């Protein structure tokens, strides 16, 4: 059984901080289908539209009938572990530092036999239950790998060092929440504490304003440290990074600016600029201030820097013309986050983007239900980190819009535009 | 080129200044990103706070020079309010910072010290009686004088103390609705200046008319100064204020350096 994770000791300040090494990253374009599935936390493989054969590894033509009609589809992720081996030597720098490493072969119910990282709680073939479930997860290079997990959850299974290489669990980690006075920010702080975070740096961008819920939250748990941060102020961001940048293992950017109004329909560039200042330039300021330190600490022990979370919106993909300037800022934020992801991926720090539908908060007062409780967004963030995702869609509206976008982007554009066009 | 004849007054002025018999007092707050701005209901348009981004600092962006871009509203930091700022002054002549008569940038100042009253009551309102009592002590307010309200509000250094917000809004001192038209009519003042975020009290939206200092002063071609500091270094009477706003076309106000000339004690 997996040893529960021990609270990390204080760092020895005269010991060199080890730099991150990464597992092999290159993949074929077809194999990036696995990466897409792992990023979203689904289990999909190619299935031949002609002969129904499930394919692994990903390929250009069907291994059985040579058809080119291979569709990515959810498939049964269960199978039997038929062989394992434990690596005790590797010439690869990444694995060398993490030996011993258990791998094995799983015969999937869906057909293929696959090589996977094998969880320590899976019984050896011949010594117990050989049934396993497979999970597609991102490794520290940001590429998909297969993990063979016990068929049923085992105690502390997420604490297994091999599995932790694919996840960003908040347990014993220090989390920075960039707007602690927002409903989502407070929700994230609570959810992180419940998930075992050792510290939550809860940012206050308006110290002049008394928010009783914020004060109560800060007083409720000694793991919360209130800190000042205004993401529109470069000096404020730099000051905070200079003071605690070396202790941020997970950064959750909840700073958000949302106002109603179209682009022709609300002739006020100030509002658009305010949205850009917070949603886009704020993200960039945070990235420039905290990115280098987090990259440097990506292999810094049990509580290494692992993840950067941007709370965006499903409207990053499709503008909501009633909030035209805001939509543009969220789309720009998504674009900026993709660059940030590319830049942090080389260091082994994951960028997770969260795409909620409408949230039940002040500026969404007139949005008809269903609306997401801020706590639901927070829970989705924690779950996404625990599973090691990159893209998290939260709520029915987000999922529905996403499905409709895949089906017909133009239809979504027209329908979302109807509210202002008539 | 003709040799200019030295003007004895200007020569004496410079001599007094250099000898230290006249001193300059800086009434200006330093512009920093942290300095608070007025807080309006969030559905209204909001002024930008002071923000600054480095262009270069002797580095690859400019090897031998250091400079910054900055942004802020016309009403950020220590700033000047022109008559056009308020609806009551919108149609007056020469009502913007670029058109106001340049000689208006220099005027005498009377400093009314209500720092003890403001310490006891953050909602303190200056009344005609307070001004008359001040005049009994310091002489009447001369025409074309700034009236500066010393509240020591500038000594509140955190945004929380300075804005002093409660659930019912900001609490800071200012003039009441009677004293402002009285100062204009009876004393022909130049304008009104405060240490707090506005020339009006924090709760002035509940007065009649709302924001009387803005309403009457700007409706009568008078000016406002706010976020002043160092008023405690000025005499009750006798200081001269140099307050020249930036020349923004049709500007409603501007951040500025406010200097006071005062006899050394």
Q: Give the integer Cα–Cα distance in Å for A289 and A238.
A: 6
Binary contact (A233, B45; C-beta < 8 A): no
| Residue B2 pLDDT | 62
Whether the CB of A361 is below 8 Å from some CB of chain B: the reply is no
Query: B63 in helix, strand or coil?
Result: strand
Using a CB-CB distance cutoff of 8 angstroms, which residues of chain B are in contact with residue A270? 45-46, 48
| Residue A298 pLDDT | 96
| Residue B3 pLDDT | 66
| Residue A123 pLDDT | 95
Mean pLDDT of chain A: 96
Using alpha carbons, list the distances in angstroms from residue A7 to A168, A172, A198, A297, B116: 16, 6, 9, 18, 54
Percent of chain A with pLDDT over 70: 100
- Over residues A2-13, mean pLDDT: 91
Cis peptide bond upstream of B250, omega within 30: no
Using a CB-CB distance cutoff of 8 angstroms, which residues of chain B are in contact with residue A274? 46
How many other CB atoms sit within 10 Å of the CB of residue A12? 8
Q: What is the pLDDT of residues A177-200, one digit of tens each?
A: 999 999 999 999 999 999 999 999
Whether the CB of B47 is below 8 Å from some CB of chain A: the reply is no
How many other CB atoms sit within 10 Å of the CB of residue B208? 7
Q: Give the integer Cα–Cα distance in Å for A201 and A180.
A: 9
Q: What is the ipTM of this complex?
A: 0.92
Binary contact (A234, B45; C-beta < 8 A): no
Binary contact (B165, A233; C-beta < 8 A): no
Mutation site for A-interface testing, chosen from B38, B160, B197 by largest number of A Cβ within 10 Å: B160
| Start and end residues for every CATH 3.40.50.720 domain found in chain A | 174-417
| Residue A420 pLDDT | 79
Q: Give the integer Cα–Cα distance in Å for A322 and A419.
A: 7
Whether the CB of B168 is below 8 Å from some CB of chain A: the reply is no
Mutation site for B-interface testing, chosen from A181, A208, A210 by largest number of B Cβ within 10 Å: A208
- Over residues A329-354, mean pLDDT: 97
Q: What is the pLDDT of residues A259-301, one digit of tens each?
A: 999 999 888 999 999 999 999 999 999 999 999 999 999 999 9
The two three-digit tokens of residue A16, written as one number? 């060199």
Binary contact (A235, B33; C-beta < 8 A): yes
CB-hemisphere CA count at 13 Å for B28? 20
Predicted structure pTM score: 0.95
Of the candidates A327, A361, A417, which has an alpha carbon nearest to the alpha carbon of residue B42? A361
Whether the CB of B169 is below 8 Å from some CB of chain A: the reply is no
CATH (residue range A174-417):
3.40.50.720
Q: Give the integer Cα–Cα distance in Å for A27 and B4.
A: 83
Cα A125 off chain centre by:
34
CB-hemisphere CA count at 13 Å for A372? 24
Q: Give the integer Cα–Cα distance in Å for B113 and B119.
A: 11
Closest to B51 (Cβ–Cβ): which among A232, A268, A271?
Answer: A232
- Name residues of chain B where pLDDT drops below 50: none
How many other CB atoms sit within 10 Å of the CB of residue A335? 12
DSSP E strands: which ranges in A270-395?
307-311, 350-356, 391-394
Using a CB-CB distance cutoff of 8 angstroms, which residues of chain A are in contact with residue B53? 234
Using a CB-CB distance cutoff of 8 angstroms, which residues of chain B are in contact with residue A237? none
Instruction: Indicate the helix (H) or strand (E) that contains A265.
Output: none
Using alpha carbons, list the distances in angstroms from residue A281 to A248, A277, A278, B161: 20, 5, 6, 29
| Residue B5 pLDDT | 76
Binary contact (A270, B45; C-beta < 8 A): yes
Binary contact (B33, A233; C-beta < 8 A): yes
Whether the CB of B45 is below 8 Å from some CB of chain A: the reply is yes
Whether the CB of B52 is below 8 Å from some CB of chain A: the reply is yes
Locus of tokens 């991102």: A138
Find the closest chain A residue to B156 by CA distance: A208
* Residue A422, pLDDT above cutoff 60: no
- Looking at chain A from residue 266 to 285, which residues have their Cβ under 8 Å from any Cβ of chain B? 268, 270-271, 274
Q: What is the pLDDT of residues B83-100, one digit of tens each?
A: 999 999 999 999 999 999
- Over residues A380-407, mean pLDDT: 97
Instruction: Indicate the helix (H) or strand (E) that contains B3.
Output: none
Three-class HEC string of A227-252: EECCCCCHHHHHHHHHHHHHHCCEEE
| Residue A250 pLDDT | 98
Cα A252 off chain centre by:
10
Whether the CB of A238 is below 8 Å from some CB of chain B: the reply is no
Active-site residue set of B: 85
First-last CA distance in chain B:
42
């Amino acid at each position: 059984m997996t040893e529960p994770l021990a609270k990390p000791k204080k760092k020895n300040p005269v010991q060199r901080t080890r730099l991150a090494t990464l597992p092999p990253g290159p993949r074929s374009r077809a194999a990036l289908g696995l990466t897409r599935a792992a990023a979203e936390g689904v289990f999909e493989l190619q299935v031949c539209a002609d002969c129904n054969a499930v394919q692994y590894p990903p390929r250009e033509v069907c291994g059985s009938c040579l058809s080119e009609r291979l569709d990515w589809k959810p498939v049964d992720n269960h199978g039997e572990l038929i062989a394992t081996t434990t690596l005790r030597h590797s010439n690869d720098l990444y694995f060398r530092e993490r030996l011993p490493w258990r791998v094995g072969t799983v015969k999937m119910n869906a057909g293929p036999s696959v090589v996977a990282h094998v969880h320590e709680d899976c019984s050896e073939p011949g010594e117990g239950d050989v049934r396993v479930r497979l999970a597609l997860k991102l490794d520290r290079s940001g590429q998909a790998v297969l993990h063979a997990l016990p068929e049923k959850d085992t105690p502390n299974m997420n604490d297994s060092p091999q599995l932790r290489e694919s996840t960003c669990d908040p347990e014993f980690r220090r989390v920075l929440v960039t707007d602690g006075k927002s409903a989502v920010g407070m929700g994230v702080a609570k959810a992180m504490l419940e998930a075992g975070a050792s510290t939550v740096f809860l940012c206050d961008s308006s110290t002049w304003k008394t928010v009783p819920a914020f004060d109560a939250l800060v007083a409720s748990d000694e793991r919360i440290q209130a800190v000042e941060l205004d993401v529109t102020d470069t000096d404020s961001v730099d000051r905070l990074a200079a003071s605690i940048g070396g202790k941020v293992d997970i950064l959750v950017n909840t700073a958000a600016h949302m106002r109603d109004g179209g682009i022709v329909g609300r002739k006020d560039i100030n509002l658009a600029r305010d949205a850009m200042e917070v949603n886009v330039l704020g993200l960039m300021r945070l990235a420039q201030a905290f990115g280098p330190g987090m990259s440097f600490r990506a292999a810094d022990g049990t509580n290494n820097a692992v993840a950067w979370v941007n709370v965006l919106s499903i409207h990053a993909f499709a503008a909501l013309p009633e909030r035209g300037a805001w939509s543009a800022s969220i789309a720009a934020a998504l674009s900026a986050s993709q660059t940030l992801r590319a830049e942090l991926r080389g260091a082994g720090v994951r960028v997770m983007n969260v795409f909620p539908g409408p949230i039940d908060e002040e500026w969404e007062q007139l949005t008809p239900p269903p609306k997401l409780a801020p706590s639901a967004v927070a829970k989705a963030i924690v779950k996404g980190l625990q599973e090691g995702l990159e893209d998290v869609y939260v709520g029915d509206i987000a999922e529905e819009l996403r499905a409709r976008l895949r089906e017909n982007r133009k239809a979504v554009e027209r329908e979302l535009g109807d509210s202002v066009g008539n | 080129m003709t040799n200019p004849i030295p003007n004895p007054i200007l020569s004496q002025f410079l001599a007094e200044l250099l000898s230290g018999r006249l001193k300059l007092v800086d009434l200006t707050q330093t512009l920093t990103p942290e300095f608070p701005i007025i807080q309006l209901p969030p559905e209204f348009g909001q002024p930008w706070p002071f923000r600054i981004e480095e262009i270069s600092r002797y580095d690859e962006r400019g090897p031998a020079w250091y400079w910054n871009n900055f942004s802020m509203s016309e009403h950020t930091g220590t700033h000047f309010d022109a008559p056009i700022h308020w609806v009551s002054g919108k149609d007056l002549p020469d009502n913007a910072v670029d058109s106001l008569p340049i000689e208006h940038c220099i005027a005498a100042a009377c400093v009314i010290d209500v720092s003890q009253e403001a310490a006891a009551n953050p909602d303190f309102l200056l009344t005609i009686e307070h001004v008359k009592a001040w005049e009994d002590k310091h002489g009447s307010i001369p025409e074309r004088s700034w009236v500066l309200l010393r509240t020591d509000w500038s000594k509140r250094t955190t945004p929380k103390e300075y804005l002093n917000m409660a659930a019912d809004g900001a609490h800071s001192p200012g003039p009441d609705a009677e004293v402002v038209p009285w100062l204009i009519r009876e004393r022909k003042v130049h304008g009104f200046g405060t240490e707090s975020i506005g020339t009006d009290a924090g709760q002035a939206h509940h007065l009649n008319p709302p924001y009387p200092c803005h309403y009457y002063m700007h409706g009568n071609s008078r000016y406002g100064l706010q976020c002043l500091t160092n008023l405690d270094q000025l005499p009750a009477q006798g200081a001269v204020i140099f307050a020249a706003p930036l020349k923004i076309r049709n500007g409603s106000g501007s951040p500025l350096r406010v200097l006071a000339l005062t006899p050394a004690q």
